[in-house]
Amino acid sequence: MVTVAKASAARTVLVSAVASGQGKTTATAALARRLIREGLRVRVFKTGPDYLDPMILRRASGAEVYALDLWMVGLEQCRRLLAQAAAEADVILIEGVMGLYDGDPSSADLARAFGVPVVAVLDASKMAQTAGAVVLGLQQFGPVDMAGVIVNRVAGTSHAQMVAESIRNVPNVPLLATLPRQQTSLPERHLGLVQPEEVEQVDRVLDQLAEQLELDMDAWNAIPLIAFDDALLASDAPGKPGLLAGKTVAIARDAAFAFVYPANLECLREAGAELRFFSPIADEPIPADADAVYIPGGYPELHCKELASAQRWRASVQAAHAAGMPILAECGGMMVIADTLTDAEGKAWPMAGLMPGQVVMQPRLAGIGMQSLTLPEGELRGHAFHYSILQTSAEPTAKTVRQKNGQPGEAVYRSNGLTATYFHAYFSSCPAAMARLFLPEAP
């Protein structure tokens, strides 16, 4: 008897552009909302390391947004995530990162790895007939399979017609949709888009985008479905059950500490950990039953006043550290366990003081890029992206390695159970190494 593998299929596209700032997130969010209004089930992914765009996309689609990255997440785990989405949804939208061919691996590499066609978002605010040339270049440089174009920031009907006529010169690439210039846009700050909770009437903005998206449903429905093997769903979960069995991990989660991959939380749960959440800016202490603490990144520099006055939170994390409890302080988490944090206005605020030194906000980006950290249990992959620097007398116990050139990256400080670094780890890249960070140090 021959067993035939079952496969789930979904209309799947990668939404990319010639560069950042073209409106990929806006277009992806608008398309997700619009297709949901058409009665379709929609799942959205984000290419590469990102925390803020996925928050907006999660709000737009109503479902969790996971990272896809051939290096950080890995080919097989990306395939598994896509198969799971195809089993649950009619449509899969993957928002790219930077420009279509930027990075190594690039968004184009991801699209080609899974046979996913590309939808190009084009900011037409300062062009008309040249639009076709840009689309042709995006299509042929790789090349990639181009499913269509979403033209963003269209000035009016005549402008839209000129752009449309230009795109018709590109063989087999339809104009999928247009979006007009927005009266209200999604605001940004130094790390990217603001969090959805900070946008007044965010759902109204997203609904307006969906309404203004002029979508050619015939062109959309002409995009072929892509099948993903259902057998992948039965493969072993990446968290390796038992690594953290019986352990309770307390996780800081509020407006200051929101940069957590949803896959990281799943990896902790799959490893057997029970998760407890608490809010440092609300002066909530670490839960009493915690065996370990995870302080992720976020925007602590915007909440210095609350954190500096959060006496119960500070006392609890100081006591946990004194007792040798495992603590992972990641980027923004490291910023609040130093002695002081100096905000963008130059004012220094007292922090938890678990390690000596001061964190100082910078006007320009201080660290960026894909990196890895090698521990005895294996290699954890992830990234760095920060606008502050740490001035400390402490000596790092290790340094990450930059994926791009193999050079040393972020410093990693480890002492009495504490691991502090600007490096954001993607836990599923090596669950055994992740688990080591949340277990007591060997005597």
* Residue 189: CATH number of its domain: 3.40.50.300
- Report residue 418 as tokens: 């504490």
Residues 273 and 215 both lie in one domain:
no
Whether 21 is covered by a domain: the verdict is yes
- State the chain's mean pLDDT as an integer: 92
pLDDT bin (cut points 50, 70, 90) of residue 2 is very low
Catalytic: which of 267, 304, 331, 430?
331
pLDDT bin (cut points 50, 70, 90) of residue 192 is very low
Q: In the chain, how many domains are there?
A: 2
- Report residue 415 as tokens: 């002492």
Whether 242 is covered by a domain: the verdict is no
Amino acid at 427: F
Whether 2 is covered by a domain: the verdict is no
Give the residue from 180, 208, 232 where a domain finishes.
232
Whether 443 is covered by a domain: the verdict is no
42: DSSP letter: E
**Tens-place pLDDT, residues 353-368:** 999 999 999 999 999 9
Q: What's the confidence (pLDDT) of residue 212?
A: 94
Which residues lie below 8 Å from residue 153, measured CB to CB, with a gap of 6+? 23, 123, 124, 125, 179, 180, 181, 182
Residues 228 and 332 both lie in one domain:
no
For residue 5, pLDDT over 90 is answered with: no
Whether 1 is covered by a domain: the verdict is no
Residues 18 and 167 both lie in one domain:
yes
Active site residue 78: no
Residues 291 and 154 both lie in one domain:
no
Distance of CA 296 to the CA centre of its chain: 13
Complete DSSP assignment for 381-427: EEEEEESEEEE-SPPPSEEEEETTT--EEEEEEEETTEEEES-EEEG
Range of the domain at 16: 7-232
CATH of the domain at 288: 3.40.50.880
Residues 165 and 212 both lie in one domain:
yes
Whether 186 is covered by a domain: the verdict is yes
For residue 134, pLDDT over 50 is answered with: yes
For residue 200, pLDDT over 90 is answered with: no
Q: What's the confidence (pLDDT) of residue 236?
A: 55
For residue 186, pLDDT over 60 is answered with: no
Summarize the confidence of residues 394-417 as an average pLDDT: 97
For residue 1, pLDDT over 50 is answered with: no
For residue 193, pLDDT over 90 is answered with: no
Nearest to 164 by CA among 136, 126, 129: 129
Strands (E), 102-174: 118-123, 146-154
Whether 23 is covered by a domain: the verdict is yes
pLDDT bin (cut points 50, 70, 90) of residue 107 is very high
For residue 182, pLDDT over 90 is answered with: no
Give the residue from 232, 260, 291 where a domain finishes.
232
Complete DSSP assignment for 231-276: GGGGSPPTT-TTTTTT-EEEEE-STTS-B--HHHHHHHHHTTPEEE
Residues 224 and 332 both lie in one domain:
no
Whether 442 is covered by a domain: the verdict is no
Residues 226 and 305 both lie in one domain:
no
Whether the CB-CB separation of 381 and 400 falls below 8 Å is answered with no
Percentage of the chain lying above the pLDDT 90 cut: 86
Q: What's the confidence (pLDDT) of residue 234?
A: 59
